[in-house]
Structure 1
Amino acid sequence: MENKNVFEETVATLIEDAKKLQAKFSKCQENNNFTEALSCMRLLKDTLALIKEYDWELKYSELETTTGKQLKIWEQNHCGEIRNLKEYQTYDSTDKKNVWIEKFESCIANRQSYICTYGDECRGTGKSYALASLCHKYNGIVVSETTNGSFGIKNNCKQFGFNVPICNYRYVLSMRQVKNKILFLDECSGLSNEQIDKLKESHIVIGFKLT
């Protein structure tokens, strides 16, 4: 705490010095004292550099989700500027709290497709983890037409060691060996409602779509 106070006091002093130098610089310009103005400019530049170096405080936030915690760490200065923002998602050791896993597993057991319209209420609920883990568990396929359409699933696969194939719409329709595979969609898959309905004709389709 003492170190924090020292930094805060130092930054406050530097800011006051910068204000004085700025005022002095303006006055020197008005008086055509360019030599003194140049000297003030150099001092102001050095002072601002020191402020920029020391006026950053480490911030931390923690948000409870249905599957664990969402952690954010960043640096912020007195102006509210943010740098080095990093986000982490932690998950509970059990999948019982993940409502999507329970819902999707129930549908799979009953041989039913389930597509949920994605909204803000889905954020931070572990949906991508549910899709990745179940696709891995049931040896399914993620269907995506866009490069970033399975971004959340890919991140979870990398974090938890899941191994899932990602294929496009035409490939799934044309390949016989994937006929009985369960298909998983994230909300940015790029598939139209008509394409999703077509997949449902010969597959169990689980996941999300945009409105």
Structure 2
Amino acid sequence: METKNVFEETVEILIEDAKKLQAKFSKCQESNNFTEALSYMRLLKDTLSLIKEYDWELKYSEYETDGHKEVSIWKQNHCGEIKDVKRYRITEQELKKNVWIEKFESCINERRSYICTYGDECRNTGKSYALAKLCNKYNGIVVYKNRGGIFGIENADDKLSIVNTFIPYDRGINPKQFENKIVFIDEGSGLTNGDIDVIKRKHIVVGFI
């Protein structure tokens, strides 16, 4: 089963459709074919409404305000519109309970991948804890090339008294029993962007790189 970001693919297709409809609409206007122009305008309006519905990406920001640090997560579309804004004061416990778990779980529920590319800036924020907990909850697998990329999750497993499955990556994830499993990766896994793109063909992938 293909689990590449369905929402992203849908938006890309809809945007291409909108461009074609807009071109046809303009051509009909230029030739004074107002009947067909009206039809294309209606189709364009429906297509733009679908783009607005699906084109939302999860965003994250950390900042200081009123003498303390906060984390915000929200959804934003390509027009810069935002919704579902949530803010949290930063304490280790709150982060473990809220930010990363909610961020990744939102993507999992939407059947889409999310890779945080600034993992080195997020140390001591409960990220390995979140990965361990969600991997266990969704019966996923932790994939790695470098053993150093799983130590944080292993430590979190010990604290949570759980056991997750760790799979070394070798040009793919081959064993049949791991097909369509949600894949979790942590900073230092050794996986490249190319490796992750390969994994995304058959798996939802969440974590840090």
TM class by shorter chain equals 0.5 to 0.7
Counterpart check, 1:66 vs 2:90: yes
Give 2:122's aligned amino acid: C
1:192 aligns with: 192
Q: Secondary structure at the match of 1:174?
A: coil
1:157 aligns with: 157
Tell me, which stretches of 5 or more residues in structure 1 are unaligned? 1-64, 69-90
1:103 aligns with: 103
Query: Cα distance 1:202–1:141, how it changes in 2: closer, same or farther (>3 A)?
Result: same
2:10 aligns with: none
**Preserved CA contact (<8 Å) 1:150 1:186:** yes
Query: Cα distance 1:136–1:172, how it changes in 2: closer, same or farther (>3 A)?
Result: farther
2:82 aligns with: none
Larger RCO: 1 or 2 (CA < 8 Å, sep 6+): 2
1:52 aligns with: none
Give 2:115's aligned amino acid: I
Q: Secondary structure at the match of 1:102?
A: helix
Q: Deviations over 1:85-128 (max 9, x none)?
A: xxxxxx46x954x3110010000000000000124431211111
Q: Deviations over 1:142-181 (max 9, x none)?
A: 0011121111111100111121011111285211111110
Q: TM-score, normalization: structure 1?
A: 0.53
Distance in 1 between residues matched to 2:149 and 2:96, nearest whole Å: 24
Q: Secondary structure at the match of 1:148?
A: helix
1:146 aligns with: 146
The equivalences for 1:18-33 within 5 A come to: none
Give 2:167's aligned amino acid: C
Distance in 2 between residues matched to 1:95 and 1:141, nearest whole Å: 20
The equivalences for 1:90-129 within 5 A come to: 91=93, 96=97, 98-129=98-129
For the aligned residue pairs, the C-alpha RMSD in angstroms reads 2.3
Count of residues in correspondence between the two structures: 122
Give 1:66's aligned amino acid: I
Distance in 1 between residues matched to 2:172 and 2:181, nearest whole Å: 9
Give 1:164's aligned amino acid: N
Q: TM-score, normalization: structure 2?
A: 0.54
Tell me, which stretches of 5 or more residues in structure 2 are unaligned? 1-88
Query: Cα distance 1:191–1:95, how it changes in 2: closer, same or farther (>3 A)?
Result: closer
1:178 aligns with: 178
Larger Rg: 1
The equivalences for 1:84-95 within 5 A come to: 91=93
Q: Secondary structure at the match of 2:149?
A: coil
Report % sequence identity. 55
